[in-house]
Chains A and B, each alone.
Chain A
């Protein structure tokens, strides 16, 4: 049974929760006291991941850290379609490029959120500025992709690049970053949120799916 060391408010852990749900894969959750206990910095956890970070995935004897690496593993091992982490060289290059962006430039939005919600002592003005720069790059890219009839970050179909980039963009409001100036990002977020098997996390606002029967007032 896959085991996920998880914190409910972590966008990085959520990348893995989301992809496992999309894959329809069972797993066991081990909640780790990220806050206020800072369990992930203590010796017991450092044995699992010396970087002291979440998420960590255990599958049999394999122990993996880094949300992006975990997505690569899960797609390679469990995705029957082969579409989430495509084989073809150029596609794989594109996916990797955006996985790095998700674990790199987009993490400024994550840090701004940690500052605003959990009082991490960061220079939040600088983080927000960097995050907005990253968002402009992503918005420009997505708008251009649309003109070429590609609805997803790395190609015509969704890949783990979309999963990796999604959470901290969708949670940007938590870090004081509004998305009024990124209409292409807003369209892409909606496409991600309507993927089969999509699950949300606290702080995410879902579009209406038109499912629930409403008894309207007369």
Chain B
């Protein structure tokens, strides 16, 4: 769909692209090289050196330049070739450059836009999302999982899903634990959210959590979990449509602003994501907390 090429899509957690690294990501069937130089900002380029077609994702990052692995041609962050080792005293012609895509980092994720105008549209694209409280500042990247399936099918499934609880009250976030029993689950009468009754292993106290899953735009799902008197806990799942048969799911949670507690939250959602992945790979398995609402 041509309009999705003009959307911003998440392709990686920010912390999954370290300085001095380059790797490949697939978005809407395109082979893209993402890399980060010593100046710190992430770049997203067509994954093909204009010289002999070598995939630049295999390149070496040297300072603020990406060096193609085949003949060592060096490109600066603007995609301009600055050095051809076979001709050490020549300034490469301006025509030797790598096409780049819009690339922005926000909310713990790296976002890429394949077509249309670049940076200017980023804030506009997320204005309504931010206003709805979907992508606040200070969000914490937790984990990316990859599954077979189209992002459309996965989005539908996730919006209506019933998840195991993630809530402060459960203490599940405190100790990275995951052990709870689902006692009952159902859709609210107005169909706007899912309600789950549950308790912790080894405790008699029952909790009730309501999940409000919303599709923020074509590829962002926001789930707010509200457990009784607790403040709500937000989880955002940004979908990366790699091909029509494979999707990346980038999980971002709200940051507490405190390193140790954020660390525990990342650990918790790391496990949670692994369970979600297992569920998505085994859709016929009996209900154990993950379930799409049919």
Contacts and interface: CB of A to CB of B under 8 A. Distances in A.
Whether the complex brings A and B within 8 Å at their CB atoms is answered yes
Interface of A: 140, 143-144, 147-148, 178-181, 183, 186-187, 190, 205-208, 210, 214-218
Contact of B146 (A181, A190, A205, A218): A181
Interface in B129-143: 143
A207 B270 contact: no
Contacts of B106: none
B21 A208 contact: no
Given A140-B274, A144-B267, A217 B21 contact: no
22 contacts: A140-B270, A143-B270, A144-B267, A147-B266, A180-B25, A180-B57, A181-B248, A183-B17, A183-B23, A183-B144, A186-B23, A205-B58, A205-B60, A207-B20, A207-B60, A208-B20, A208-B61, A208-B67, A214-B83, A215-B88, A217-B88, A218-B89
A180 B248 CA distance: 11
B279 to A, nearest CB: 15
B108 interface: no
Nearest to B248: A181
B13 interface: yes
A202 to B, nearest CB: 14
Contacts of A143: 143, 270
A208 B67 CA distance: 10
Contacts of A218: 89, 91
A180 B12 CA distance: 10
Nearest to B63: A210
4 smallest CB-CB distances across A and B, nearest first, come from: A183-B16, A208-B60, A181-B146, A208-B62
B265 to A, nearest CB: 10
Interface residues of B, number: 36
Interface string B55-77: 00110111100010100000000
B90 interface: yes
B58 A147 contact: no
A190 B17 CA distance: 13
Contacts of B267: 144, 147-148
Contacts of B169: none
Contact of A147 (B24, B25, B144, B263): B263
Interface string B88-104: 11111000000000000
Contacts of A144: 267, 270
Contact of A183 (B13, B84, B92): B13
Contacts of B168: none
Given A207-B60, A210-B62, A217 B143 contact: no
A187 B18 contact: yes
Interface in B217-275: 248, 263, 266-267, 270, 274
B96 to A, nearest CB: 12
Contacts of B266: 147
B258 to A, nearest CB: 15
A160 to B, nearest CB: 26
Contacts of B18: 187, 190
B67 to A, nearest CB: 7
A147 B143 CA distance: 11
B174 interface: no
A186 B21 contact: yes
B48 interface: no
B208 interface: no
A72 B18 CA distance: 33
Contacts of A179: 23
B172 interface: no
A144 B267 CA distance: 7
Which among B57, B60, B248 has the greatest number of chain A C-beta atoms within 10 A? B60
B26 interface: yes
B24 A180 contact: yes
B185 interface: no
A136 to B, nearest CB: 8
A104 B266 CA distance: 30
Contacts of A180: 23-26, 57
B215 interface: no
Contacts of B270: 140, 143-144, 147
B83 A217 contact: yes
Contacts of A210: 62-63
Contacts of B88: 215, 217
B199 interface: no
B82 interface: yes
B54 to A, nearest CB: 12
Contacts of B25: 180
Contacts of A181: 144, 146, 248
Contacts of A178: 24
